[in-house]
Amino acid sequence: MLLAFAVLLVFQCLGEGFVFLFKVPVPGPVAGMLLLLAALVGFPRLHEVVEAGANELLRHLSLLFVPAGVGIVVAAASGSGHWLAICAAVVGSTLLTLAVTALVLQALTPADRRGESGDALTPARQRGGGDV
């Protein structure tokens, strides 16, 4: 598992270095994840190495939100006069995220699975039952 954490840390550092060298307007960890994705596609054996460490991190994901929560509490005083703007941004970004997710899901789902095709079977007909 130590090897898995080392691989993840190396790719995060590579992402930070890539962003710094090429002045890419993307966070370093995101660039590191993209580099890790490319490495996982190119070297399938790397998947086995990274999987154990990634699963362990996911099991303890809630602990990783503690620093963010502390940062919010510390910075709460500076946003005291801007609660309406903050709430509007949170609600607006949530709705926008839901809309984009729904559109992507609709675009990636085949038409016959959505029920738009005329010859798609209803669940009752799939089980061999008659028309309901």
Q: What is the DSSP string of 31-47?
A: HHHHHHHHHHHH-THHH
**What is the spatial distance between Cα 99 and Cα 93, in angstroms, rounded to a whole number?**
10
Alpha-carbon distance 36 to 102, whole Å? Answer: 27
Residue-wise pLDDT for 33-78, tens only, equals 999 999 999 999 999 999 988 898 889 988 888 888 888 888 777 7
Q: How many residues does the structure list for the chain?
A: 132
State both tokens at 68. 């963010």
Give first-to-last CA distance, the chain, whole Å: 54
**Distance, CA of 22 to CA of 40 (rounded, Å):** 23
**Residue linked to tokens 């839901």:** 98
pLDDT at 72: 80
| CA–CA dist 92, 90 (Å, integer) | 6
- For the full predicted model, state whether its pTM sits above 0.85: no
Counting Cα atoms < 13 Å in the Cβ hemisphere of 111 gives: 4
Say whether pLDDT at 18 is over 70.
yes
Residue 71, Cβ density class (10 Å: 0-12 exposed, 13-18 middle, ≥19 buried): exposed
Mean pLDDT on 77-105: 91
Max Cα-Cα span within the chain: 65
Distance in angstroms (rounded) separating the CA atoms of residues 29 and 8:
10
